[in-house]
Amino acid sequence: MMLARIEPGPAGSDLRTFECPKCEHVHKVLAQDPFLSANTGWSQSGLSPPK
């Protein structure tokens, strides 16, 4: 499967379309922006990568 396209979806989500070049199977997935979810506390926690 290869990511074929990303389109704007409802309510700030993305509609991601995956296609198989061999069998032409198409799979579509709605993906939410992880920074807009309720679980973003870790990104503002002051944690940093090891030095």
Residue 45 to residue 2: CA distance in whole angstroms: 35
Residue 18 to residue 31: CA distance in whole angstroms: 12
> How much is the pLDDT for 40?
59
Q: What is the pLDDT of residues 1-51, one digit of tens each?
A: 999 999 998 887 899 999 999 998 999 999 887 666 565 566 667 777 787
Residue 30 to residue 47: CA distance in whole angstroms: 29
15 in a structural domain: yes
Give pTM, 2 decimals.
0.61
17 in a structural domain: yes
Please give the distance of CA 33 from its chain centroid, rounded to a whole number.
Answer: 6
Number of domains the chain is built from: 1
7 in a structural domain: yes
21 in a structural domain: yes
Where in the sequence is the domain holding 26, given as residue range(s)? 2-34
> How much is the pLDDT for 22?
94
40 in a structural domain: no
18 in a structural domain: yes
